[in-house]
Amino acid sequence: MREVLVEEAIAHARTREASDVYLCAGEPTALLVGKKLYPQETTVSPDDLERFLEACGIRDLSQPKQRLKNHGFCVVDHADSAGTMRLTVTRPGGRYDVSIRLQGAEPPELESLGWPANIAEFAKLPKGLVVITGPGGSGKTSLLSGLVRRILEVGGRPLWMLESPPEFRHAHRQGRVTQYSVGLDGDFPSYAHGVVAAMTATVEVVVVGEATEADVARAALDAARLGKLVFVTMHAGNTVQALEQLATWGVSMTQLAQEIAGVVSLRLIPKLGGGLQPAAEMWLPDDASLALIRSRDADLEGLRERIKSGHGMNTLESALRMLWKGEKITHEDAKRYAVKPGEVL
């Protein structure tokens, strides 16, 4: 096994278009490419890995080093000439284990991501709540960054981004963007605190990195009620699951029906021939759907019938079926990534 510098391992990962690099001193380097793990015939030394981590800010008496000591892990951002990266660092058995999520030097252009074209319409909305859902690694962060870039390119709107931590650094372009870090040692202790601050600021668009609890969801909805355009991500499988989670958190469904502007559910699926293929469920509010949301006794599964009716909407399963029929993905993957595999056929 050949020993390389950490920077060489990262540069090689970028040439392979890897999304993630896994490093542990003395162990084979591994790359995640298109959701498949590829062990390499290279490794890094303990001294070089420690040198690199110190350059990233993980040094004695530093806050990241203290978090690593007290909590068992730390997360830091770093940048090189090719782009940014997020490091998650642990120390099992006394040696560093590092996973690195790679990002480009600039936020992606919305069209380059391959999502349905009508998603871009959300960037034009004057106000409302847009929910973007999907499991980890489904493209939520990249889509948010693409939408933010589009809003800033059109210009004329001040925008706040609340992230934990920021993954892309946005230029103002024709608008105005302020990026805040959320969490331990961040600019705000929580997403909810950041959204509440945005309500009183002269900001028109608020981007919330993730809603994982009721306080965040309620604050986001309140911000939309006050006339902000709010984007928020959630870990939910589809539209129905996202709305059911909001209901479980005690969000006012009457208020939600007034402010919700749409839900997009994302997947990134291994593509035949290599790479990743985007697939998305799209729900847009109509009178029948909003009546279901307002009715506390209604089964939200009824929304699926509204989504199936078309009018710019589609279920995740119909998107997967089209990709399979179009020979973009395998039938096995179409069913594996579906919430309701039986509807893929």
Q: Are 261 and 285 in contact (CB under 8 A)?
A: yes
**Residue located via tokens 């770093």:** 78
Q: Are 251 and 214 in contact (CB under 8 A)?
A: yes
Dist. CA 133–CA 238, nearest whole Å: 7
In this prediction, residue 38 has a pLDDT band, given cuts at 50, 70 and 90, of: very high
Picking from 167, 200, 151, the residue whose alpha carbon sits closest to that of residue 88 is 167
Residue 46 corresponds to which tokens in the numbers above?
């303990």
Q: Are 32 and 13 in contact (CB under 8 A)?
A: no
**Rg of the chain over CA atoms, in angstroms?**
21
Dist. CA 264–CA 146, nearest whole Å: 14
On the question of pLDDT at 297 being above 70, the answer is no
pLDDT at 274: 87
pLDDT at 92: 93
> pLDDT tens digits, residue range 14-36?
999 999 999 999 999 999 998 89
Query: What are the b/e assignments for 260-275, b being 16+ CB within 10 Å?
Result: bbbbbbbbbbbbeeee
165: preceding bond cis by omega (within 30 degrees)? yes
On the question of pLDDT at 89 being above 80, the answer is yes
Picking from 124, 111, 129, the residue whose alpha carbon sits closest to that of residue 206 is 129
Please calculate the CA angle 74-78-79 and round it to the nearest 5 degrees.
165
Dist. CA 183–CA 67, nearest whole Å: 12
On the question of pLDDT at 184 being above 80, the answer is no
Q: What mean pLDDT, rounded, does the chain reach?
A: 92
Dist. CA 29–CA 43, nearest whole Å: 5
> pLDDT tens digits, residue range 210-221?
998 999 999 999
Dist. CA 64–CA 89, nearest whole Å: 9
Please calculate the CA angle 121-225-205 and round it to the nearest 5 degrees.
45
- Written as one letter, the residue type at 173 is R
Q: Are 67 and 41 in contact (CB under 8 A)?
A: no
In this prediction, residue 238 has a pLDDT band, given cuts at 50, 70 and 90, of: very high
> pLDDT tens digits, residue range 133-143?
999 889 999 99
Q: Are 231 and 223 in contact (CB under 8 A)?
A: no
> pLDDT tens digits, residue range 239-254?
999 999 999 999 999 9
Structural domains in the chain plus CATH codes: 2-102 (3.30.450.90), 110-343 (3.40.50.300)
Q: How many CA atoms lie within 13 A of 156 on its CB side?
A: 4
CB atoms within 10 A of CB 93: 5
On the question of pLDDT at 74 being above 70, the answer is yes
> pLDDT tens digits, residue range 185-228?
789 999 999 999 999 999 999 999 999 899 999 999 999 999 99
Q: Which residues contact 198 (CB under 8 A, 6 or more apart)?
A: 160, 162, 206, 223, 228
